[in-house]
Amino acid sequence: MKLYYCPGACSLADHIALHEARLAFERESVDLEAKTTASGADFPAINPKGYVPVLVLDSGETVTENLAVLDWIAGQDPALGLDGPLGRTRVLEALAYISTEVHRCPLCATG
Ligand SMILES: N[C@@H](CCC(=O)N[C@@H](CS)C(=O)NCC(=O)O)C(=O)O
């Protein structure tokens, strides 16, 4: 699988989670201003929303949105989730709060 990321951006969370889950992955950085990847690919062709993170699975399917990417990674390693009947709900609750109420990206034009 492959993570598209930008140094210093919110994709760092996915980078850390992939390492914590001990998953093998490639990574490619994205220039968020130029909207190109390190290999020169047109980033909007990979994610029309123009955002990192993007995780391309081994199946070729693409997962975007930090909450969904982190939830997918947590699903690969039970140690990254929370136990109990509300465990996944509590993880999603925390990720949604961070994504919608806390996240401010210094790299984003919109702040
Ligand atoms: N809704 C997206 C937002 C992700 C996001 O804001 N990513 C920033 C980096 S932290 C980005 O790629 N910004 C590019 C831009 O604003 O053009 C998510 O939750 O994953």
Kindly give the number of the ligand 1 atom that is closest to the alpha carbon of 108.
16
Which tens digit of pLDDT belongs to each residue from 15-54?
999 999 999 999 999 999 999 999 999 999 999 999 999 9
Q: What is the pTM of this model?
A: 0.93
| pLDDT score for 111 | 46
Q: Which residue has the tokens 């070729």?
A: 60
Q: Which residues line ligand 1 (CB under 6 A)?
A: 6, 9-10, 32, 50-52, 65-66, 99, 105, 107-109
Which tens digit of pLDDT belongs to each residue from 67-87?
999 999 999 999 999 999 999
Residue 72 Cα to ligand 1 middle (Å): 18
| b/e sequence 38-73, b meaning 16+ C-beta within 10 Å | eeeeebeebbeeebbbbbbeeeeeebbebbebbbeb
